[in-house]
Amino acid sequence: MTGTYEHSLDTASRLIVPAKLRDKLGKSFYLSVGVKENLTLYPMETWDKLRERVAQLSTTDAASMDLFFASAILCEVDKQWRFQVPGFLKDYAGIEKDVVITGNNDRAQIWAADKWKERTREQLNPANIAALMKTLGI
């Protein structure tokens, strides 16, 4: 998934799936905490791969994923392609109303708009992009 999409939560804390991400996400997907004070949307195929990898871990190692799985919710979109963002996930990501949804390879991320703006201000520059390309051998 790729792209950047600006949206807002409605008064019922629902968020619309961007049209360009609908085919990849599908009508059912998982929403969970992200690793960067954001939220992550996992298509079912990506979620299943994640679950399979965790199932192969030892019980002790898998226990480190307890809070991650506890925070995850299955989302099913309505006819307008909206889904509910629970309060505890909004709190985790610092989301109030305005968000930015970004494609991130095989998943999408949801950011509080102000956090995304700050992140791009800090990281989107030629030196950082050149370093990323070098890391990839490009």
Domain boundaries, the chain: 4-113
Give the span between the Cα atoms of 46 and 136, in whole angstroms: 23
Q: Do the beta carbons of residue 101 and residue 39 sit within 8 Å?
A: no
Nearest one of 98, 100, 71 to 3, comparing CA atoms: 100
Q: What is the pLDDT of residue 30?
A: 97
Q: What is the pLDDT of residue 119?
A: 83
Q: What is the pLDDT of residue 56?
A: 87
Q: What is the pLDDT of residue 121?
A: 79
Burial (0-12, 13-18, 19+ Cβ within 10 Å), 85: buried
Handedness of CA 89, 107, 79, 5 (dihedral sign): positive
Q: What is the pLDDT of residue 135?
A: 84
Give me the CATH topology for the region 4-113.
Chemotaxis protein chec (3.40.1550)
Question: For residue 8, what are the β-bridge partners?
Answer: 98
Q: What is the pLDDT of residue 7?
A: 95
pLDDT tens, per residue, the chain with 138 residues: 889 999 999 999 999 999 999 999 999 999 999 988 999 999 999 999 988 988 888 888 888 888 888 999 999 999 999 999 999 999 999 999 999 999 998 999 999 999 999 888 777 777 878 877 888 788
Burial (0-12, 13-18, 19+ Cβ within 10 Å), 113: middle
* Cα–Cα distances in angstroms (integers) from residue 31 to residues 44, 72, 75, 80, 122, in the given order: 10, 6, 7, 18, 26
